[in-house]
Amino acid sequence: MLFLLRKIRRKLISENQVSTYLLYAIGEIILVVVGILIAVNIDDLNEETRLKRIEHTLLSEMYVNLQNDKTDLTANVTLCQNSLTSSYRVLDHLSGQDMQADSILYYYGNLWGTTVFTVNMSAYENLKSLGLQVISSNELRKMITNHYAEGYGYLLRVEAMDAEFLIHQLTPQMNKHLITTDDYDKIHHYAKPVNFDELRSSNEFKETLKKSIIMDRLLINTYQKSISSIDSILKKINFHLQIE
């Protein structure tokens, strides 16, 4: 193509066709500019395609991460609800309410314990390293950032508070007043008061259980908010990937 264009140009110059040559020169410039624009446009399309592949990969990975997080959080809600129920039942028992022996052993045995949420951060860390702008949806990008940076940050702080309470307040009371029994299985723990009359008169023990109830409620509420956030993000990711 270039050889042909040069040949035409030389012919026009040799034949002294200046006006025709000028028109030809302008046309050649336009042709070069058009070629450059096409090349730039192709590069832009290639870059856009590359970014969409990256976005699709990251969102697919994050979808799996969040599903695993939801499973973990749901299990933690169940554990906290069991602990919460146990605290209420033990307080009822200490106030004089009759209960079956095996039930009360179960409730005393499940008063303490803690939940630990293991966050799957791999997709989010990859996203941050590549730049949050990889996510083309402003709404989805904001949802993801709020969930990981703010939501999980608050959740982990609440868990840390619960662990502190468990170590310094609840466990000492349990060790002082309760003893594990021979009635146990692989899933549940069983315990009974060392001295029931002494335990029933211990205001410190009862106040500790009331604080445990507050902590369990806070944990349950925090876990459930994270689950709700995950559901919203999963729905948005699924919709976003389908319309690509």
155, pLDDT greater than 90? yes
pLDDT of residue 2: 47
**CA distances to 52, 85, 182 from 177, in Å:** 61, 19, 17
- Measured CA to CA, the distance from residue 87 to residue 216 in angstroms comes to 10
40-62 pLDDT per residue, tens: 555 545 556 676 888 888 899 99
pLDDT at 184 over 60: no
Q: Is residue 177 pLDDT above 80, yes or no? A: yes
- The pTM score is 0.78
2-28 pLDDT, tens per residue? 444 455 555 545 555 555 545 555 656
Higher per-residue pLDDT: 98 or 164:
164
**Residue 137: both structure tokens together:** 């949806």
80-84, 190-194, 223-227: segment of lowest average pLDDT: 190-194
The answer to whether residue 35 is domain-embedded is no
Range of the domain at 62: 58-242
Closest CA to 218 of 153, 162, 170, 151: 162
Looking at the chain, the whole-number percentage of residues with pLDDT higher than 70 is 75
**pLDDT in the model for residue 128:** 86
Between 102 and 158, the higher pLDDT residue: 158
In a domain, 51, yes or no: no
Say if 40 falls within a structural domain.
no
Tally of domains within the chain: 1
